[in-house]
Amino acid sequence: MSEPRPTATVARYDALAILFHWLTAILIGAVYALGQLRFIGGRGSALMHWMESTHYALGIAVGAAVVLRLVWRAARKAPEHERGLMGLAAYAGHIVLYVLMIATVALGILVEWRGGHAISFFGLFQVPALINLSFLSRHTLLSMHEFAANGIVIVVGLHAAAALLHHYVLRDEVLHRMIPLNLQVPRSRRVTYWVEHARRMLRDALPL
Ligand code: HEM
Ligand code: HEM
């Protein structure tokens, strides 16, 4: 008879998962800013061209980081989500983020392929236009790309707010398990004080 599989869960994300998480977060911030601010030096300027090609290259890096992260996640155990509605919301939010990240990168690549352009990765190698997409509208692809990118920003906002809520209000370990052990964030006394204060006021005000 075969042994039952061990069901032990892990308490924290491992070092590589944490590295991928924060690397993706930083890269997405940079790629989004490069996309939105590309005209600050003027349309057609050298700065605009530099920002666009850096946007494409770092965007490709985001795609690679997300794929590697998913492969790593499939190979290793990740901490379990909490039970109930909160856990379900966190799980759904993470899936939506993975889908949006992949969609944004794929749509960006399709915009370039639509124009028949190869995408250069900092001059080191090129991703050639593999299919002829000239029948698609550049405007539609670009709008979908921008829509997905803005979706990431909105969902990440909620995601980060939830992480901070866990840390400062619910005071559990959710944020700590995505932070390297030597960088653990102290819970600010001032925030803790105001949360306690608000809690006490609510308790006194409500007939609970
Ligand atoms: C997660 C990664 C990415 C994010 C968050 C992102 C975000 C954005 C944003 C915010 C814009 C500005 C849209 C506007 O005009 O209002 C933009 C434009 C654009 N993005 Fe991305 N992008 C990403 C990856 C990519 C990739 C991988 C490519 C292609 C290789 C790409 C190609 C483009 C193109 C072609 C434009 C139009 C401007 C231009 O011609 O340079 N993006 N992107
Ligand atoms: C572009 C920015 C970000 C993206 C794309 C992102 C994406 C994700 C994804 C996909 C996961 C699920 C990990 C997995 O189980 O595979 C995750 C987990 C997590 N993220 Fe983020 N994140 C971002 C920024 C942030 C920020 C700013 C914070 C904190 C303020 C944060 C805190 C966390 C925490 C604590 C977890 C673990 C949650 C849990 O175990 O239930 N993330 N993130």
pLDDT in tens, 161-179: 999 999 888 888 899 999 9
Q: Which residue's alpha carbon is at the smallest distance from atom 17 of ligand 2?
A: 94
In whole angstroms, what is the distance from residue 171 CA to residue 90 CA? 16
Q: Is residue 191 part of a domain?
A: yes
pLDDT, position 103: 98
In whole angstroms, what is the distance from residue 15 CA to residue 138 CA? 40
Q: Is residue 10 part of a domain?
A: no
Question: Lowest mean pLDDT: which of 92-96, 184-188, 197-201?
Answer: 184-188
In whole angstroms, what is the distance from residue 179 CA to residue 172 CA? 13
Which of the four pLDDT bands, split at 50, 70 and 90, describes residue 8? very low
Q: Is residue 9 part of a domain?
A: no
Which of 179, 181, 152, 150 has its CA nearest to residue 163?
179
pLDDT, position 4: 39
In whole angstroms, what is the distance from residue 125 CA to residue 145 CA? 23
Q: Which residue's alpha carbon is at the smallest distance from atom 10 of ligand 2?
A: 94
Q: Is residue 29 part of a domain?
A: yes
Cα(99) to ligand 2 centroid in Å equals: 14
Question: Lowest mean pLDDT: which of 23-27, 52-56, 67-71, 191-195?
Answer: 191-195
First to last CA, the chain: 54
Cα(22) to ligand 2 centroid in Å equals: 8
Q: Answer whether 0.85 is exceeded by the pTM.
A: yes
Cα(205) to ligand 1 centroid in Å equals: 49
HEC string for the chain? CCCCCCCCCCCCCCHHHHHHHHHHHHHHHHHHHHHHCCCCCCCCCHHHHHHHHHHHHHHHHHHHHHHHHHHHHHHCCCCCCCCHHHHHHHHHHHHHHHHHHHHHHHHHHHHHHHCCCCEEECCCEEECCCCCCCCCCHHHHHHHHHHHHHHHHHHHHHHHHHHHHHHHHHCCCCCHHHCCHHHCCCCCHHHHHHHHHHHHHHHHHCCC
Cα(60) to ligand 1 centroid in Å equals: 10
148 near 100, Cβ under 8 Å?
Answer: yes
pLDDT surpasses 80 at 196: no
Q: Is residue 139 part of a domain?
A: yes
Least distant ligand from the CA of 59: 1
Q: Is residue 8 part of a domain?
A: no
Cα(36) to ligand 1 centroid in Å equals: 8
Residues 3-31 have a mean pLDDT of 82
Q: What percent of the chain is predicted at pLDDT more than 90?
A: 73
pLDDT, position 187: 67
Q: Is residue 170 part of a domain?
A: yes
pLDDT, position 207: 61
Q: Is residue 157 part of a domain?
A: yes
Q: Which residue's alpha carbon is at the smallest distance from atom 33 of ligand 1?
A: 108
The range of the structural domain enclosing residue 161 comes to 15-203
Chain-wide mean pLDDT for the chain? 90
Residues framing ligand 1 (Cβ under 6 A): 28, 31-32, 35-36, 52, 55-56, 59-60, 62, 101, 104-105, 108-109, 111-112, 119, 142, 145-146, 149, 152
**How many domains, the chain?**
1
